[in-house]
Amino acid sequence: MQHIPSPEVERLLLEETLVASHEELAQQALTPEQRTCLAAEAKQSLKQGAAHQRQGNTVAALGDFQKALQVFQTLAQPRSAARVVLVMAHLCYTLADYLWAADYARQGLALAQQLADQTLQHQALSCLGNSYRHLGEMENAETCMAQSLRLAQVVCDREAEMRALGNLALIYRVQGKSDQAVDLYEQSLEIAEAHQDLVALEQILRNLGNAYHALGNSQKTIEYYDRLLRLSRDRMELTVVNKILRNLHSACYAIGDYTRAVVYLQERLQLVRQLQDDRGEVQTLENLSINYDILGDTAKALQAREERLKAAIRLQDLSLQRQALSSLKMACIAQGDFERVKRYINYLTESV
């Protein structure tokens, strides 16, 4: 399968890396011919590395970029070296090799600081902060990502600012600082909306829904999850939609909006049946019966309990069958449907 480099990595690769200043050339004792040969070698290594990366051969790509890095160090081209070492940091990050990613990011940061290049500093700090987060070094992660955010704002790179806001928000969430996280997500949402970045919008809306759900803010949970579903439900994985619908029901139930809760439950019921998720169907039908009871729709509540029992039978789970049958029996008695009660009592005697 062809591997497509991330936009940040591609941007680094496409930037000019072979032109040295007269000052850099003067610092070397190399002949012009030697410098030309080395430059050609670096260019070839970069091309091979990019090709290996597109093919998904990240280890080979790292070897090629390492060769190019050594050439740029020999030629005393710190800007080119910084760009290549940051590509290597991002590649290690994609391999989940966070120790090496952090090491390369630190090298890139040092070079970027020497060059006083705020854009490269931002990129290095972003990779370093994310690597620290995976390594569990949360204080270092927060410090690096906050600095990355500040630099993105300084250089007026709104897309980089949006990413930094999201990354810092994730660090806050891991630390249990959900209130601070949602504030940053809200800021990043404004940028995504301004740029009409659909992919970013989807991720941020999902992050906001998750964060507000964790905070127990049901109104905001409903607002952002519902907006996410309307925006991109057809493009989302069904398992993700299933979780969102489950959380939407919980949020509606929490604020007493049982009519809306039923709407989300009915959507979820269709979905779990499509997924052939019998346990999810049992759970959804149980919740439907509870909400129908509250709304006074006893006929639909009874129907939901019957369907729940059938799903429990398909699962061949005796415990669930007993629970479902007991709930259905009580509902039938409450409705005075004694014939129906007898039928289910016979089933219990014969099968359970």
The overall average pLDDT reported for the chain is 88
Q: What is the pLDDT of residue 19?
A: 40
Q: How confident is the model at residue 341 (pLDDT cuts 50, 70, 90)?
A: low
Q: How confident is the model at residue 13 (pLDDT cuts 50, 70, 90)?
A: very low
Residue in 149, 145, 118 with CA at minimum distance from that of residue 129: 145
pLDDT, tens only, 169-227? 999 999 999 999 999 999 999 999 999 999 999 999 999 999 999 999 999 999 999 99
Compute the average pLDDT of residues 39-51. 90
Q: How confident is the model at residue 30 (pLDDT cuts 50, 70, 90)?
A: confident
Q: How confident is the model at residue 25 (pLDDT cuts 50, 70, 90)?
A: very low
pLDDT higher than threshold 50 for residue 21? no
Residue in 289, 253, 248 with CA at minimum distance from that of residue 268: 248
Residue in 329, 322, 321, 327 with CA at minimum distance from that of residue 345: 329
pLDDT higher than threshold 60 for residue 9? no
Q: How confident is the model at residue 347 (pLDDT cuts 50, 70, 90)?
A: low
Cα angle 45, 104, 72 (rounded to 5 degrees) comes to 40
Which percentage of the chain shows pLDDT scores above 90?
69
Q: What is the pLDDT of residue 351?
A: 56
CA dist., res. 14 & res. 119, Å (int): 15
Q: 3-state DSSP call for residue 259? A: helix
Burial class of 289 by CB neighbour count within 10 A (0 to 12, 13 to 18, 19+) = buried
pLDDT higher than threshold 80 for residue 342? no
pLDDT, tens only, 301-333? 999 998 998 899 888 888 898 898 889 888 888
Instruction: Specify the CATH number for 237-352; select among 3.30.1360.120, 1.10.630.10, 3.40.1380.10, 1.25.40.10.
Output: 1.25.40.10
Q: What is the pLDDT of residue 337?
A: 73
C-alpha distances in angstroms, 27 versus 20, 50, 75, 78?
11, 30, 9, 13
Residue 165 tokens, joined: 């806001």
Q: Alpha helices of 55-137 — where are they, by DSSP H?
A: 58-74, 78-94, 98-115, 118-134
pLDDT, tens only, 128-171? 999 999 999 999 999 999 999 999 999 999 999 999 999 999 99
CA dist., res. 34 & res. 196, Å (int): 49
